[in-house]
Homo-oligomer: A and B are copies of this chain.
Amino acid sequence: MIVIDGLQYSNWDRELFTQLRQGGVTAVHVTLVYHENARETLSRLGEWNRRFEQHGDLIMPVAGAADIRRAKELGKVGIFFGAQNCSPIEDDIALIEVFRQLNLLIMQLTYNNQSLLATGCYEGSDSGITRFGKQAIAEMNRVGMLIDMSHSAERSTLEAIELSSRPIIISHANPEFFHPAKRNKSETVLRELGQSGGLLGFSLYPFHLHNGSDCTLAQFCDMVARTADLIGIDHIGIGTDLCQNQPQSVLEWMRSGRWSKQVDYGEGSASNADWPKPLTWFGDSRDFPNITQGLLQRGFSAEDTAKVMGLNWLNTLEQGLKPAP
């Protein structure tokens, strides 16, 4: 089975790569940057090149869907890059194509806050896609870079779906009906996403789950089933949002970047400022078979389970990464 994790952000080392392989993961969308500018993004790419050099027996870079099939054949884990924010392109539309050449396959238009392109899901007011945002969407469509609205606000997300000539993704979030959180998505957004051919990756980050860290596998699989009924079995996948071995300083970089002198607790709070306690049934990448089993037990067919676990992601990448004709 091809298993694709639609988002992880970890402090990568050989042990974590080994765990991906032990969990049967064929490819993983890794977060390259949160708030890094263009120059800093080059350094992150350089660090990944070094990992490919040092751990080439375990991992390989993914420039397109064909590389994921090759990773499967070779028994390696394919690594594909995404940016959680549009900071790498700064104010320069030309950098979309330049970073696409460097295998940045996915870019979020916002990360919680207002960006130059759109409004994030933590802002009080959502003004939709900006002038630059419209140009950036057209350019991402042209070069074949996937638009990810995981951390974006409702109106911006609906406008991105409407403006984009190609399907977009929400790589890691859950339906609001399962757990009301600013990061989770309304039925309206989910329905439009599905109808436009897009993909939702289900998050396993406790802050996105019903009962948080105590959410059960059965509850999670119920949510998957209900979402499949709502938007179609072809438009859902997994995006665990697994963050491993990151120090507190990185959590602070994710949440506050350089934009705030005050502590921003993101989805946590002053009394709950640390990383959330992990799920018992999904502690790290070795636990992917638990999700597969959970879906089968919930009544998903083998075929539908394979779609959710990886084939839908593969198809989305296959279609979305080609340059526009």
Contact = CB atoms under 8 A, between A and B. Distances in A.
A97 interface: yes
Nearest to A45: B98
A4 to B, nearest CB: 23
A97 to B, nearest CB: 5
A95 interface: yes
Interface string A29-49: 000000001110011011101
Given A39-B38, A42-B38, A47 B94 contact: yes
A95 B38 contact: no
A163 interface: no
Contacts of A43: 92, 94
Contact of A95 (B46, B94, B103): B46
Nearest to A37: B39
Contacts of A95: 42, 46
Nearest to A102: B101
A191 interface: no
A277 interface: no
A94 B39 contact: no
Given A101-B102, A102-B102, A94 B50 contact: yes
A46 B102 contact: no
A187 to B, nearest CB: 40
A39 B39 CA distance: 6
Interface in A44-75: 45-47, 49-50
Interface in A242-291: none
A287 B161 CA distance: 53
Contacts of A38: 39, 42
Contacts of A102: 98, 101-102
Interface of A: 37-39, 42-43, 45-47, 49-50, 92, 94-95, 97-98, 101-103
26 contacts: A37-B39, A38-B39, A38-B42, A39-B39, A42-B42, A42-B92, A42-B94, A42-B95, A42-B98, A43-B92, A43-B94, A45-B94, A45-B98, A46-B92, A46-B94, A46-B95, A46-B97, A47-B94, A49-B94, A49-B97, A49-B98, A50-B94, A98-B102, A101-B102, A101-B103, A102-B102
